[in-house]
């Protein structure tokens, strides 16, 4: 696969019948994880995401959605195991926020994050904990009307990167990474804002993204690449991740 394919769905349209069907598809590992989730909405998000991943995998790699297996890969990020006749393994990243559930699938490591601009927040204060000095400066200088978009741009990029790496969120690492605009040829991340739904996908250099529906206008998307925030000697341990590779 030369590109990451993304599918978005509304949780409100995930019917009880579909929920019951996906439940029969889960493997032992997934059932154990689901058993630990007690909040009804979070359980539905889990089932909707795992069903969405299988349906998208079947559309891309063939076979029946129920025959695809979803498990934890060697780097901690989830992977999809194809039915025997399809003979492929796909990287997958799931995200949910509000009424939205999203899934990104690629032939190489991938990360997806969704955020919804739903309520006023102290973006400047929140950014101090997770953004690099350059990103904080850019946020503080942004006009108030643009500050929300700027915050969610950086936030989703960093979340998508963490999912790509399979390491989970690390505030210290996040503060050392500055995301800068770049060309499509060198991009490791692509993001956009569709009517208050902020999304970001992180992958290998030269990343390309396609949505399998008309939900998102990619003409409005932006390309990014992470670089080290400073050149301090204390940061040399992070030199190898200036352009992140697995």
Question: CA-to-CA distance for 235 and 213, rounded, in angstroms?
Answer: 42
Which range has highest mean pLDDT (3-12, 114-123, 236-245)?
3-12
What pLDDT does 86 receive?
Answer: 56
Which range has highest mean pLDDT (39-48, 111-120, 166-175)?
39-48
Which helix (H) or strand (E) is 200 found in, with range?
strand 197-202
With cut-offs at 50, 70 and 90, classify the pLDDT of residue 16. very high
Where along the chain do its domains lie?
A: 4-241
Mean pLDDT of the chain: 88
Question: CA-to-CA distance for 116 and 33, rounded, in angstroms?
Answer: 25
Rg of the chain over Cα atoms, rounded to whole angstroms, equals 18
**The domain over range 4-241 is classified in CATH as 3.90.470.20:** yes
| Mean pLDDT within 141-148 | 92
Give the DSSP letter string of 36-76: T---HHHHHHHHHHHHHHHHHHHHHH-S-GGG-EEEE-TTS
pLDDT surpasses 60 at 25: yes
Which helix (H) or strand (E) is 17 found in, with range?
helix 16-25
């Amino acid at each position: 696969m030369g590109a990451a394919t993304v599918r978005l769905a509304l949780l409100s349209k995930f019917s009880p019948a579909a929920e019951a069907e996906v439940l029969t598809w889960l493997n032992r590992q997934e059932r154990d994880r689901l058993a630990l989730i007690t909040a009804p909405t979070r359980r539905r998000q889990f089932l909707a995401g795992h069903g969405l991943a299988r349906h998208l995998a079947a559309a891309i790699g063939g076979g029946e959605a129920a025959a695809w297996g979803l498990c934890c890969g060697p780097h901690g990020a989830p992977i999809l195991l194809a039915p025997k006749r399809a003979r492929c393994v796909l990287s997958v990243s799931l995200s949910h926020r509000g009424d939205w559930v999203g899934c990104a699938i690629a032939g190489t490591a991938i990360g997806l994050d969704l955020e919804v601009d739903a309520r006023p927040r102290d973006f400047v204060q929140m950014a101090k904990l997770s953004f690099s000095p350059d990103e904080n400066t850019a946020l503080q200088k942004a006009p108030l009307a643009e500050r929300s978009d700027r915050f969610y741009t950086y936030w989703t990029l960093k979340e998508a990167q963490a999912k790509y790496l399979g390491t989970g969120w690390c505030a210290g690492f996040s503060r050392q990474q500055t995301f800068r605009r770049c060309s499509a040829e060198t991009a490791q991340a692509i993001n956009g804002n569709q009517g208050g739904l902020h999304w970001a996908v992180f992958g290998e250099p030269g990343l390309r993204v396609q949505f399998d529906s008309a939900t998102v206008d990619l003409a409005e998307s932006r390309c990014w690449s992470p670089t080290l925030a400073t050149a301090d000697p204390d940061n040399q341990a992070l030199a190898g991740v200036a352009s992140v590779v697995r």
